[in-house]
Amino acid sequence: MLELLQAVFLGVVQGLTEFLPVSSSGHLLLSQYFLGMDRERFGLPFDAAIHTGTVLAVVLFFRRDLLSMARAFLSSLPRPDFSNPQVRMAYLILVATVPAGLIGFFFEDFFATEVRSPWVVVFNLVFVGVLFLVAESVGRKTEAASKLGPLGAFGVGLAQAAALIPGVSRSGATITCGLLLGLRREEAARFSFLMSVPVTAAAAGLSLAEAAGEGLNGHEASMFLAGSVSSGVVGYLAIRFLLRFLANHTLRIFAYYRFALAAVVTLVLLSSGT
């Protein structure tokens, strides 16, 4: 029963922090570390399960956009008309998925083992928080996401790949990059959420297939389901909140939250001699 409650808790953490720019991987790692959770039980297969929930949340929330882009992409073949905003967005999202897909595929073991440290999370909480403040200061924040060029979309994709490191935040890195490229906050967030679908769905699917191939007992399956459902429900609400919030507010509050969290974690780590 305790592990089921822990699974629901981690699902809630994932749902909130996957879309709010505060780092889901960092919060999950810190939660497991400080609460003493079994890292084997809540390892990468469980991460994949709760990421499945957040992917489904994005698909449900943006179902009309995704269907429109899918139809536009298919109808555009073999000669796409990039003056059509839906066609252009579909191809931009495809370009943006390439960096994270390739880096995640070739360096999965490195990111799964070598950088999963609380100190890595602390550093990136502060570093990316500073980038929030820089982007808010210098970004024009005037353009729609469909105005991005291929190089801009690839750059946002590189930002998504950087979020494989705990503490960076996929949404935070990609939204920040979008702001630096001149996008409005809500447009940068929308593009960030849409581009997360292909790579996250593929990674989660592969990890779940691998876990299923090794065999899941009933208790493990119920843990995965509890985590996935809780992350999906909370994730849907987090998407709706952030899009409305960014229409009229800056990223500064999230930068300050990251700084405060980094300070608290640092004090705890130092006091424990870690």
- One-letter amino acid at 23 equals S
pLDDT tier, 46 (very low <50, low <70, confident <90, very high otherwise): confident
Which neighbouring-strand residues pair with 183? 143
Q: Give pLDDT tens digits for 66-81.
A: 999 999 999 998 889 8
Q: Kindly report which listed range (112-126, 138-152, 156-170, 195-209) carries the lowest average pLDDT score.
A: 195-209
Report residue 60 as tokens. Answer: 């449900």
Q: What is the pLDDT of residue 94?
A: 94
pTM check: above 0.75: yes
Q: Dihedral sign, CA of 221, 224, 228, 230?
A: positive
Per-position DSSP letters for the chain, written without gaps between them: -HHHHHHHHHHHHHHHHHHTTT-HHHHHHHHHHHHT--TTTTSHHHHHHHHHHHHHHHHHHTHHHHHHHHHHHHHH-SS--TTSHHHHHHHHHHHHHHHHHHHHHHSHHHHHHTT--HHHHHHHHHHHHHHHHHHHHH----B-GGG--HHHHHHHHHHHHHTTSTTS-HHHHHHHHHHHTTB-HHHHHHHHHHHHHHHHHHHHHHHHHHHHHH---HHHHHHHHHHHHHHHHHHHHHHHHHHHHHTT--SHHHHHHHHHHHHHHHHHHHHTT-
- CB-CB neighbours of 76 under 10 Å: 17
Contact 86/143 with Cβ under 8 angstroms? no
pLDDT tier, 100 (very low <50, low <70, confident <90, very high otherwise): confident
Q: What is the pLDDT of residue 122?
A: 93
Contact 30/44 with Cβ under 8 angstroms? no
Containing structural domain, residue 129: 2-271
For the chain, the domain total comes to: 1
- Cβ burial of 267 (10 Å; 0-12, 13-18, 19+) is exposed
| Mean pLDDT, rounded, for 21-33 | 85
Q: What is the pLDDT of residue 200?
A: 84
**Pairwise CA distance, residues 99 & 92, whole Å:** 13
Q: Give pLDDT tens digits for 194-253.
A: 999 988 888 777 766 766 666 666 677 788 889 999 999 999 999 999 999 999 999 999
Q: What is the pLDDT of residue 223?
A: 83
Q: Which is more confident, 43 or 169?
A: 169
Q: What is the pLDDT of residue 105?
A: 76
Q: Which is more confident, 180 or 198?
A: 180
| Mean pLDDT, rounded, for 1-20 | 88
